[in-house]
Chains A and B, each alone.
Chain A
């Protein structure tokens, strides 16, 4: 009897803690949505008003009209799509070589991959910029997706761990049957690592979608801007029109949240199978 009351008090305390902290995490979201639906004159009310007297859904189409939203969306989708395609083509191929093909180079190359995961972006940023400049590609979106086709250390690491966990008999059977190495890879191994591939794609899509530093360095023409650059220049131009900024914030964040929760199950499988956690 005493134990049960103690347990109940503990539960109550846990809920209380979670709710107090939860407010810190939740209220910015609610405030974001509330502000995005406010009429102009209710923005600066004191005390602040949580629920607008009229829900201004028109803020959303108006915010879209404020900046070339659809151009930026198309630019962002192009970069995101190409970068995701790049890592999906290159990284599993390399990871397969490191994990499943017995050859001398696999161990040193894996070691190098681990070291490169630690290398700060800034150290290589300037020479890479200079090369793209000399190739006349600064001002185009090429530098933002081309490197993806040549592998990314973290994704190679993740996929290698995944491949390591698959049973050894798989490719042996294929090799005895005389299937070519590429056939074994594409027909047997790739279909098995779908969850891991999905995880990699998700990471890359979120990474490219939210990337700010890359576009900031390489894109100067407004017609080429991504949504993130657009949002940040929106902030400098219409800094006091909070309802418009919040409406564009919602539109830019929502796709990530939908995407994440859409593939969440497969994502968690991909992470746990690869042993990263």
Chain B
């Protein structure tokens, strides 16, 4: 500051105001840079460099023990004929395509119910939100116990209403539905976002609709749901990205094995196994890039469809 003043006075031949602004600008640039420096370093160290190296590794046979060799597209070719790789893609897409839409339907439905003016609203909201605070490892253990085929509470209840309980996580056909059920238990986080979206809808719209004699169902169809589409869109994208990276639940459920019959071997689990169990870091890096591409394609697809169904307020 003092140095700047000195500069400004010593060059008094120049118009003072201009001097001061350019000095101010330079000072702000310096401060802006200095304040952002941790993040600039962070991007270089923890994003830019790793990204570049990850591309490089994916074309080598790198493992921690040996520096590896350039194998060209070898890793990618090997993946194409790796059966577990394709199983993991199938499992991950199966899980994503069922759990994400199901979570949206249940989440929006519950948010609509929780948004009505009823007694005990606060208690209900807490009740639905709490499970999403439970750590994934704890969720795993709780549900392993609930879904225990012989002594589990769920099969006891099914028995009470005359349905023979399935073997749940012990059977390859039931294991993924079990996991989807577990994911539904943590839908509370999304409900909070839907509730915030619902509260943003102006009351005038409903008042106007009521004057026109619209009933609850029509209000839902023509006001609430269209105005909720931006929030649903956001949750659809975040949910898809999250589901494609599903790891902790299936990993802790099966101790990393993905059993029974690889039916719970998810993409990131197999990637983890290659990287840290078999130390095939190059192979795993190739997997990471394929995952990135799949996620990117899905995200772009969702974005492309948004003109058809996402309604933004203030547009048209």
Query: Interface of A with B (CB < 8 Å)?
Result: 10-11, 14-15, 17-18, 21-22, 24-29, 31-32, 35, 43-44, 46-48, 89-90, 93-94, 96-98, 101-106, 109, 112-113, 116, 118-131, 133, 147, 149-151, 156, 178, 180-181, 185, 206, 209-210, 212-213, 217, 228, 231-232, 235-236, 242, 245-246, 249, 252-253, 256-257, 260, 272, 277
Contact = CB atoms under 8 A, between A and B. Distances in A.
Interface residues of B, number: 86
Contact of B113 (A18, A26, A98): A18
B124 A150 contact: no
A28 B143 contact: yes
B38 A126 contact: no
Nearest to B184: A24
B153 A124 contact: no
Contact of A48 (B141, B156, B188): B156
B285 A15 contact: no
Interface stretch (B39-47, B89-97, B169-177, B307-315): B39-47
Interface in B46-62: 46-47, 49-51, 53-54, 57, 62
Contacts of B128: 21-22, 25
B35 interface: yes
B141 A246 contact: yes
B20 to A, nearest CB: 12
B28 A210 contact: no
Would you call the interface of chain B mostly helix, strand, loop, or mixed?
Answer: helix
A181 B295 CA distance: 41
Interface in B1-50: 1, 25, 28-29, 31-36, 38-43, 45-47, 49-50
A89 B39 CA distance: 11
B131 A28 contact: yes
Given A18-B114, A29-B130, A94-B36, A126 B285 contact: yes
B151 A127 contact: no
A256 B35 CA distance: 32
7 contacts: A89-B38, A120-B245, A120-B295, A122-B271, A122-B288, A126-B281, A131-B49
Contact of A231 (B54, B138, B241, B255): B138
Contacts of A236: 255
Interface in B250-305: 251-252, 255, 268, 271-272, 275-276, 281, 284-285, 287-289, 291-292, 295, 299
Contact of A150 (B39, B51, B216): B39
Nearest to B131: A25
A105 B38 contact: no
Interface string B90-117: 0000000000000000000010011010
Contacts of A156: 39
Given A11-B118, A26-B127, A116-B47, A126 B35 contact: no
A146 to B, nearest CB: 9
Interface of B: 1, 25, 28-29, 31-36, 38-43, 45-47, 49-51, 53-54, 57, 62, 64, 110, 113-114, 116, 118, 120, 124, 127-128, 130-131, 133-138, 140-146, 150-151, 153, 156, 184-185, 188, 193, 196-197, 200, 216, 241, 244-245, 247-248, 251-252, 255, 268, 271-272, 275-276, 281, 284-285, 287-289, 291-292, 295, 299
A122 B146 contact: no
A31 B38 contact: no
Nearest to A231: B137
B31 A101 contact: yes
A131 B48 CA distance: 13
Given A102-B28, A124-B54, A178-B1, A44 B38 contact: no
A235 B153 CA distance: 19
A17 B170 CA distance: 31
A212 B51 contact: no
Contacts of A131: 49-50
Contacts of A25: 127-128, 130-131, 185, 188
Given A29-B131, A116-B43, A121-B245, A94 B156 contact: no
A179 B64 CA distance: 51
